[in-house]
Amino acid sequence: MIPMREAIRQAMAEEMRRDPTIFLMGEEVALYDGAYKVSQGMLAEFGPDRIVDTPIAENGFTGLAVGAAMAGMRPIVEFMTFNFSLVAYDQVVNSAARIYQMSAGQYRLPIVFRGPNGHAENLASQHSTAVESLYAHFPGLKVVSPSTPYDAKGLLKTAIRDDNPVIFLESELMYGFKGEVPDEEYLIPFGKADIKRQGDDVVIVVWGKHVHTCLKAAESLKADGISAMVLDIRSIRPLDHDAIFAAVARTHRAVVVQEGFPFAGVAAEIITRIQESCFDLLDAPVLRVTNRDVPQPYATVLEKAVIITAERVVETVKLVMGR
């Protein structure tokens, strides 16, 4: 059993030992061992040329990473929070996501942009936004969000080896979450969902840290005689729509749980695909659970009223079940 931060560190270190063109850059990743200690010990092993502390200038060092990737390197960019990636949004979506197409394939952009996404505790609105819908919107970017140390290591190794820019969404609240990770090398392909809990009455489609919120909700629903499947899509783009459709065919009811705001979110895209491809299989409308449609408040009591909870998931599932 190792914590999530260790699984991420193992993935980066193993890949850096394998390929000398890989380097890590970001704020406090080197001398401070990482803001969340994800890169602890990596400076001592790989040195300052490959573990690079940057200024507080996301637009600048993200642009540097784009240039390095075009020149044949494979940078890993750590954002202290993905909220700060918005400072570099132009570099990510106008450059990294599009240069392969704009250069007619002459340049590839093997970059991983990684760091914590969404809310933690009492970080207020400017540090709590879930950004997956902002990046999944753009062709040219791949977007993944692991929920366990096993998934984090396997998906990150795949991301580092990919020749396209990958948005790798972690969670500050999950860096200490422990899980089993095998000693032997493994990779998890993008676009392959994972059933975290079997069920027959309804499927809950989810990703990232709220997989565990939904597992808690499913256990509570069991006491009410409702068998809920929890489907962790893991990869937002590419999306494993076949796994989602198969789950809907089995259960005939679905709830999508997405951290972040409801308007124009990933949940809306998933629901649209279900309605388009599985309409005749549905016994009830597909519903979603998201954060409330307001900026994240700082006060604990208000924060709890805004974020997704197991109780809200249970309430929505019961509504879909006609309870």
Catalytic residues: 58, 127
Q: Are 144 and 190 in contact (CB under 8 A)?
A: yes
Q: Is the dihedral of CA 309, 141, 286, 129 positive or negative?
A: positive
Element (H, E) at 77: strand 74-78
* Spatial contact of 118 and 171, defined as CB atoms under 8 Å apart: yes
Within 10 A of 47 (CB to CB), how many other CB atoms are there? 12
Inter-residue contact 238 to 190 (CB < 8 Å): yes
User: How far apart are alpha carbons 88 and 167 in whole angstroms?
Assistant: 13
Question: How are beta strands 74-78 and 51-53 bridged, if at all?
Answer: unpaired
Give the SS3 label for residue 232: strand
Reference 88, options 25, 15, 8; nearest CA is 25
Q: With beta carbons less than 8 A apart as the criterion, state whether 8 and 153 touch.
A: yes
Q: Are 120 and 84 in contact (CB under 8 A)?
A: no
- How far is the C-alpha of 63 from the C-alpha of 88, rounded, in Å? 8
